[in-house]
Amino acid sequence: GAVVSQHPSWVICKSGTSVKIECRSLDFQATTMFWYRQFPKQSLMLMATSNEGSKATYEQGVEKDKFLINHASLTLSTLTVTSAHPEDSSFYICSARSQASSYEQYFGPGTRLTVT
Amino acid sequence: AQSVSQHNHHVILSEAASLELGCNYSYGGTVNLFWYVQYPGQHLQLLLKYFSGDPLVKGIKGFEAEFIKSKFSFNLRKPSVQWSDTAEYFCAVNGGLGNTPLVFGKGTRLSVIA
């Protein structure tokens, strides 16, 4: 089946620093990737949608200058949390949609970010 | 805009009890419907999906769901739950063409007790 990986699986950083999270589709080409955020015991909230080679489309209320998304290739998307603050601590999950199966999204294992 | 409602926040069942988790969606066109499960400390796994055809969909681990178009519902069922079914369950929907991102419900936490 289609596999999506994320790196790192967890990261702790100091307030004010930036953190980059990678999302890779391992065995398929992902024309579209999605970034979600999940707070403890809550649902997944869509942050942004990115298509390979294009600028990401951010959901209302998500700061594009704070959460930088790059989708440079059909197998890699990155989310950079800039100038992180404790309120950015969360579980970030990426998802990818393949060219072959446009209906289905495949999810990565998530990255837990803790900002101290 | 699409939205998904899951009525039950937390369900507690004894082993062997039957399960039904409610899911209603709001969307103006054709939809694709999904149920995902998230076991404690693990990532999302797809349980089942509906795109078209038979409205009764069978998934993994004995789960099934029924799409009732007139009720905008896609309830998840299992005849007999096990302790290992303890997890968070999410209903999700996207537009029929599949070119919109999945929108998730708030999730239902299922606790199965022995």
Q: Which residue has the higher pLDDT, B4 or A43?
A: B4
The answer, for A15 touching chain B at a CB cutoff of 8 Å, is no
Instruction: Assess contact for B93 and B2: CB atoms under 8 A.
Output: yes
Closest by CA to B46, choosing from B31, B30, B29, B32, is B32
Residue A85, pLDDT score:
96
Residuewise pLDDT in 10s, chain A (116 residues): 688 999 999 999 999 999 999 999 998 888 899 999 998 878 899 999 998 888 899 999 999 999 999 988 999 999 999 999 999 999 999 999 887 766 678 999 999 999 99
Confidence category of residue B33, pLDDT binned at 50, 70, 90: very high
In whole angstroms, what is the distance from residue B21 CA to residue B10 CA? Answer: 10
- Using a CB-CB cut-off of 8 Å, the residues of chain B touching A91 are none
Instruction: Search chain A and give the residue with CA nearest B34.
Output: A104
In this prediction, what percent of chain B has a pLDDT beyond 90? 75
Looking at chain A, which runs of residues are DSSP E strands? 4-7, 10-13, 19-25, 30-38, 44-51, 57-58, 67-73, 76-81, 90-98, 105-107, 111-115
The whole-angstrom distance between B28's CA and the closest CA on chain A is 17
In whole angstroms, what is the distance from residue B37 CA to residue A71 CA? Answer: 27
The answer, for A9 touching chain B at a CB cutoff of 8 Å, is no
Checking if the pLDDT of B22 tops 90, the result is yes
- Using a CB-CB cut-off of 8 Å, the residues of chain A touching B43 are 93, 107-110
pLDDT tens per residue across span B72-110: 999 999 999 999 999 999 999 988 676 788 999 999 999
Q: Calculate the average pLDDT of chain B.
A: 92
Residue A55, pLDDT score:
87
Cβ of A107 within 8 Å of Cβ of B101? The answer is no
Return the HEC string of chain B: CCEEECCCCEEEEECCCCEEECCEEECCCCEEEEEEEECCCCCCEEEEEECCCCCEEECHHHCEEEEEHHHCEEEEEECCCCHHHCEEEEEEEEECCCCCCCEECCCEEEEEEC
- Using a CB-CB cut-off of 8 Å, the residues of chain B touching A100 are none
Cβ of A108 within 8 Å of Cβ of B106? The answer is no
